[in-house]
Chain A
Amino acid sequence: MLKEPAPKLPLEQLEKNFADINPPLTAAQALEEGSRCLFCHDAPCIKACPTGIDVPHFIRQIITGNLRGSARTILEANILGQSCARVCPTSVLCEGACVLNAEGKKPVEIGRLQRYAVDPVIARGTQLFKPGTPNGYRVALIGAGPASLSCAAELRKRGYQTVIFDSNPQPGGLNTYGIAAYKMRARDVAMEVEMVRSLGVEIRSGVTIGKAVSVAELERDYDATFIGVGLGETEDLRIPGEDLAGCRDALSFIEETKSKSFDQVQVAKRVAVIGAGNTAIDVVTAARRLGAEEVYMVYRRSPEEMSAFDYEYELAKKDTVAFVWQAQPVRVVDGSGDRAGHVQALECVRTQRGPKDTRGRSSFVPVPGTEFRLDVGMVVKALGQKRKLEFLQAIPNLELANGCIVVDPQTMQTRNPRYFAGGDCVNGGGEVVDAVAHGKKAALGIHHVLESVAGRKAATTSQV
């Protein structure tokens, strides 16, 4: 229990606060927006999409009233096109590349058009693809996040038997447990996962590889293994007071907003969030929307160094968050009396720009004597995620660099030829669409390797 919780908001209000920030387009809006697309040749938006969706083509299909064809164009390139339509940072991907920007016009709202095309197909459970003829190969996939889901779907289209293992009770990875609720709800993810499952992908939830099932067992029972385990817990602060009640990590907090009813999620009246990445933004906005009255985003460096995307920063500004730049947390302050053992404040020290490091980045050094306190009842650490070192080191002959798995960029094959990998555990933390692209590439890599090993001709993609 928090000692100074924020006043409870009625559930109805909370639902409103977490309503879709990018609501679906109506048919009329989609037609108008889609008509703005110039149907460029060799369009830059296609190249800016990590999964290479043929954007002008699917928009044209919306315009001609071929909605099913449009959805197929999208999902053929990106089986998680529904999630991506909602969560992709489009302003730095497809929409950022739209040629209309160069003319000083608003780019075409590609993400929302994508959602317009895909949503009905997912909602109705329309089967657009069918599994390939069984080719006798079995592939195990560790983790049921976007990387594995995409890999498994692609393998099923080619006739592979696929089994995904995931420790969590629900599949979807961070799509289910991590992405801000106002972008996507767990129930949206569930429908999308259902589509993947309906291709014949088996998902065994609540099974941790390395515990319930060993890596050796997978090697024995499957022809290849895909590693899509993502990243680990949030990094520690390594300052005193970190274990006080009310000091918690970003991921578990966000997970609550995604898996519980909003009125069941506790938030303090005043909250300090440490970090300035996209996750930190998700936490400050969630805290505000849950009813916290004062939310501080505390960052050691200046806005220039902030890693959050501009549009995410804008979102936090709109939610009236207080930004505390150039402040380094030094201690989480314990309460006294009945607040003993609970967070009372966050003590920080001001920093100033120091010499540049070897990569040309400014260092920020504490200025002695500038200590100050933020009186808060909750401190959330959003410092980025740890690598899953222990798990990865247990797999024979994996090569790691900086805790990330080293792969052949063409096939996503690891140094241990039985293993392929993709997603956050390879790129150290990217976007959903990167994980999907990796998964797809890995499926082709697995197909290529297994086919050439056995010289067996596998079934090719087929559609219904």
Chain B
Amino acid sequence: MPDLTINFCGVRSPNPFWLASGPPTNSAYQIMRAFDAGWGGAVWKTIGEPIINTASRYGSIDLKNERMMGLNNIELISDRPVEDNLREIAEVKKRFPQHTVIASLMVESKRATWHDIVRRAEDAGADLLELNFGCPHGMSERGMGAAVGQVPEYATMITGWVKEVSRTPLIVKLTPNVTDIAHMAAAAKAGGADAVSLVNTFNSIVSIDIDTYAPRPSVAGLGSHGGYCGPAVKPIALHMVSSVAKHADIPISGIGGIGNWRDAVEFMLLGSTSVQVCTAAMHYGFRIVRDMIDGLENYLDEKGFSSAMELVGKSVPRIEDWGNLDLNYKIIARIDAQKCIGCNLCYIACEDGAHQCIRVEERPQGDLRHGGLPKHVPHILEDECVGCNLCALVCPVPDCISMVEINKDHQPMSWKQLQEARGKNPQCSNEELLHGKAAGRST
């Protein structure tokens, strides 16, 4: 069996699956249930001066039948006394010494206050600390959370204060509500952070009730912008993780829309050593980790990896600047008429939304599968197809439209190389340059 244990800044965790700071990690009772279910670690619901929450707190969007594709919340940090949280951290560590407990912290931006909370969290036995510089609502109005995480100098300064007293490795949790997240990661690193976790939630208004005009979630008819998370944010989070992995040399705990082992593998391939989950655990409970563990094990096994750590960052070099992509790589769509069910979605997508390269024609004589239906099938005008993918994306039948490479032994040339070639051969057209017709082309 492949080894799922990870080493995160020197801390060994039984597996890369951690619960993110949030409602599922509000108490020892929950975290112990989670560890029993198989989670390798948990980031405690952010500890700080207890707050008062509103009702309601959550709103969400559905996608047809699928509930909670995106979740929005206006909840603040822990509403429980600091002592209670710290005492419970100690209890959990006593019962689960091998599991990773991370104390998430957020206090007023005063040096002494930070020193105090860091010392107490470490005394309670936390394996790692996570500074919540990300909460985008409520706390930021009080000068905490995103108010710190959006200003690099503040982030560096407070991280520095914490490092003055901390003994355990330090994670800084980043807010995605910034222009360049890699810059914020660098700021945290400059302050001494050992790792970063990302992303926290995105500023959002999840919906408006068009009958009452009140936003959701509604607190007595009023609302406030909240933090958005869940499956809907995964692609944005993946980009942010890859950007930090590429531009800031620092261990990453990946967060944002992770619900199963596949999502986790993607985050790991883009540089996350551990992954954190909040919404999916809120939706289905801790039990989802069973398939995350089993699925990851089977995946590693099938791919011939002996340890989960081997995945970390494997796809990072595959994320390149656009200017380095090969302009001579050509693929076109091909439709398998045997699989086509005749919905014609590809046709209309290409006709109205792309490059008008699909024609619908009568099915060839004698091809009467599907009980003689559909009578008409689309086919690609191969000379016109630009290989954009749209038809394959809208097609509801798996493997019916595939994208095939047409000039396998072409000479690659990127946009950057094209610029270079043009410099040397200003008289040549793009076509000539791309196809190497110009003499003295650099390769």
Contact = CB atoms under 8 A, between A and B. Distances in A.
A91 B225 CA distance: 47
B298 A69 contact: yes
B285 A65 contact: no
Contacts of B288: 60
Contact of A60 (B65, B291, B299, B397): B291
A57 B284 CA distance: 11
Given A39-B284, A41-B285, A57-B290, A64 B295 contact: yes
Given A57-B291, A69-B291, A69-B294, A64 B397 contact: no
B398 A64 contact: no
Nearest to A68: B298
A61 B398 contact: no
B261 interface: yes
Contacts of A36: 65
B262 interface: yes
A61 B296 CA distance: 11
A66 B398 contact: no
Nearest to A72: B294
A21 interface: no
Interface string A44-64: 000000000000010011011
Contacts of B295: 61, 64-66, 69
Interface residues of B, number: 19
A28 B291 contact: no
A64 B262 contact: yes
B260 A64 contact: yes
Interface size class of A (residues with CB under 8 A): 10 to 19
Contacts of A72: 294
A19 interface: no
A27 interface: yes
Contact of A66 (B261, B285, B397): B261
Given A57-B290, A57-B291, A64-B262, A28 B397 contact: yes
Interface string A61-89: 10111101100100000000000000000
A76 to B, nearest CB: 11
A321 B39 CA distance: 57
Given A28-B398, A60-B291, A66 B298 contact: yes
B225 to A, nearest CB: 31
Nearest to B261: A64
A69 B293 CA distance: 10
A41 B290 CA distance: 14
B285 A64 contact: no
Given A27-B398, A66-B261, A61 B294 contact: yes
Which of A27, A28, A41 has its CB near the most chain B CB atoms (within 10 A)?
A28
Contacts of B260: 60, 63-64
A51 B291 CA distance: 20
Interface string A1-38: 00000000000000000000000000110000001100
A235 to B, nearest CB: 45
Contacts of A35: 65-66
Contacts of B65: 35-36
Contacts of B287: 41, 57
A61 B285 contact: no
Contacts of B299: 66
A36 B67 CA distance: 11
A65 B294 contact: no
Interface in B79-116: none
Interface in B388-403: 396-398
Contacts of A61: 291, 294-295
Contacts of A27: 398
A448 to B, nearest CB: 25
Interface string B60-84: 0000011000000000000000000
A68 B299 CA distance: 10
A35 B66 CA distance: 9
Contacts of A41: 285, 287
Nearest to A65: B262
25 contacts: A28-B396, A28-B397, A35-B65, A35-B66, A36-B65, A39-B284, A41-B285, A57-B290, A57-B291, A60-B288, A60-B291, A61-B295, A63-B260, A64-B260, A64-B261, A64-B295, A65-B262, A66-B294, A66-B298, A66-B299, A69-B291, A69-B294, A69-B295, A69-B298, A72-B294
Interface of B: 65-66, 260-262, 284-285, 287-288, 290-291, 294-295, 298-299, 302, 396-398
Given A28-B397, A66-B299, 15 more contacts: A27-B398, A28-B396, A28-B398, A35-B66, A36-B65, A39-B284, A57-B290, A60-B288, A64-B261, A66-B261, A66-B291, A66-B294, A66-B295, A68-B298, A69-B291
Give the 5 A-B CB pairs with smallest separation, nearest first.
A66-B295, A69-B294, A64-B260, A28-B398, A68-B298
